[in-house]
Structure 1
Amino acid sequence: MSFLTLRKVSYSYPNGFEAVQDVSLDVQLGEAVAIIGQNGAGKTTTVKLMNGLLRPTKGEILVEGKSIQSLTTAQISKRVGYVFQNPDDQIFQDSIEKEISFGPKNQKLEDSVVKERVSSAATLCNLKEVLSEHPYNLPYSKRKFITIAAIIAMDPEVIILDEPTAGQDRESTVLLGKIIKSLTQKNKIVITITHDMEFVVNEFSRVFVFADKQLRKEGTPREIFWDEKLLSFSALKQPYICQLANALGIQNILTMEELGRKLLE
């Protein structure tokens, strides 16, 4: 049985605009999945429905087989954590340590557990040496890791990352990959919205493609990025390595190593 399930979920805003139509999907514990699509495709609305920040106007969302409809947003957030695209929408404490510890303290955990959670999350997100700093002493790109650590410290089973690679350099993108791997090894679900197709290829085994308010296809990166009709319909581009392979008349390539082997043949 999947841990997180959406069954024919739709959402309309109060003004009547329908942002998501009949989305059904399942995610298992220990999975890292990517959600891709152009702006307005329904990606962010869908993940906010998972977290309880929005409530479906149709359909049902299940966590561990149970509907979350009757739960408060606070209750849902203990199991499904959401990291905002803009860290400044989330940060409100005057030190990084306070920011990361706020969630565990709010969960009424013992001080020793809070301390361990903060230390573990800060270490994973490369923040251990700056815990006493004010969050705004760090650049925008590094503040994203503060918000990621704050959600990790709450220990939800599902962690949603909204555009985590936006504005990040290569070193930070590599760190994000390490964080995702660490979380899935601990049997967490990581759901990531991203426009970074290279990041999708490198870090995710399953991809959900959204277009025109609906989930159009799910599959492996290879299945997604070599489906030219899907990419055209969804206004998505292949990763650069796929574009290069295409230009050389080579199909079904995802990595530089694969391309090298094909060229040698």
Structure 2
Amino acid sequence: MRISVEDLHFTYPSGVEALRGVSLTIEPGERVAIVGQNGAGKTTLVKHLNGLLRPTQGRVLIGDWDTSQVEVHRLAQRVGYVFQNPDDQLFCRTVAEEVAFGPRNLGYPLERVKQLVEDALRLAELTDKAEVNPYDLSPSWRKMVALASVIAMDTPIVIFDEPTTGQDARTIHRIEHILEALVQRQKTIITITHDIDFCAENFERVVVMGQGRVLADGPKEIVLGKVDVLAQTYVEPPQLTRLGMRLGFEQTVCTPAQFLDALRHRLDHLRRSPTEREG
């Protein structure tokens, strides 16, 4: 399901102009990370995708639906949104009830709801916590409940708002496992993140925003190498990217595998004789 954002402008009632002519297209199955400093317009942008905000000017299409013409509860059939703070979306008495709330509200048959809940609980490693009150769990596990509640809705598009903020390494690994499972299911995945290393390792396309505009958009190997552009919105390239630049790698490296490949290539080059290198 294609996402089309066309010359999107948005001004808050206070007069703050948060978006200033944003245009981009996200194809079905893409993994897109949106980065930029606080106030860059990232959250304002993605809240237009599920109708929580309506354009001041321009339009947003989710498939053939214009978000300004479709009710939020209908958009929830196409766009799942995991809030940064799980406490903003949890309210049921048990984990199982919380995870079942979304698919039930979408009107899925009871048997499908059961299957979706079981799948989401398993994927989020929550099966043994199904009858626990979410607020009896740690913040990290509440994050997983929030993730599972959106996964169970089985929407073609899933948005994660700062999924790794405040999370330990084990929880981040669980989140990465969920992302990979959603990729295998051909979901479109969009994340807002300040965790540039998480972005580099798990997303293929990066959109850089600053002052309500798109400053760069493209494959991570290109965008994350644009140091001057990233600096405009107070973002640094990933650690491995910066190390690769220091070592003089010709290509931009974003992941451990890319770094090791580039390092092997460099070492192989150095091992060759001067004559071979000139050739």
TM-score by length of 2: 0.90
**Larger mean Cα displacement after TM superposition, 40-49 or 121-130:** 121-130
Q: Is the 8 A contact 1:49 1:56 kept in 2?
A: yes
Q: Is the 8 A contact 1:30 1:185 kept in 2?
A: no
C-alpha distance in structure 1 between counterparts of 2:31 and 2:224, whole Å: 17
> Where do 1:142-221 residues align within 5 Å?
142-221=141-220
Q: Across the two proteins, how many residue pairs are aligned to each other?
A: 264
> Where do 1:9-158 residues align within 5 Å?
9-158=8-157
- Secondary structure of the residue that 1:123 maps to in structure 2? helix
C-alpha distance in structure 1 between counterparts of 2:180 and 2:229, whole Å: 28
C-alpha distance in structure 2 between counterparts of 1:170 and 1:209, whole Å: 25
1:253 corresponds to: 253
- After superposing on structure 2, the runs of 4+ consecutive aligned residues of structure 1 that deviate more than 6 Å are none
C-alpha distance in structure 1 between counterparts of 2:77 and 2:129, whole Å: 26
C-alpha distance in structure 2 between counterparts of 1:44 and 1:239, whole Å: 22
Q: Is the 8 A contact 2:2 2:27 kept in 1?
A: yes
C-alpha distance in structure 1 between counterparts of 2:105 and 2:146, whole Å: 16
One-letter amino acid of the counterpart of residue 246, structure 1? M
1:5 CA displacement = 0.8
Query: Where do 5+ consecutive residues of structure 1 fail to align?
Result: none
C-alpha distance after superposition, 1:77-96 (max 9, x if no partner): 12111110000011011110
C-alpha distance after superposition, 1:217-244 (max 9, x if no partner): 1111111111122122221101111222
Query: Where do 5+ consecutive residues of structure 2 fail to align?
Result: 270-279
1:263 CA displacement = 4.7
TM-score by length of 1: 0.95
1:193 CA displacement = 0.6
Q: CA 1:66–1:109 in 2, change beyond 3 Å: closer, same or farther? A: closer
C-alpha distance in structure 1 between counterparts of 2:7 and 2:71, whole Å: 21
- State the percentage of identical aligned residues: 38
1:249 CA displacement = 3.6
2:274 corresponds to: none
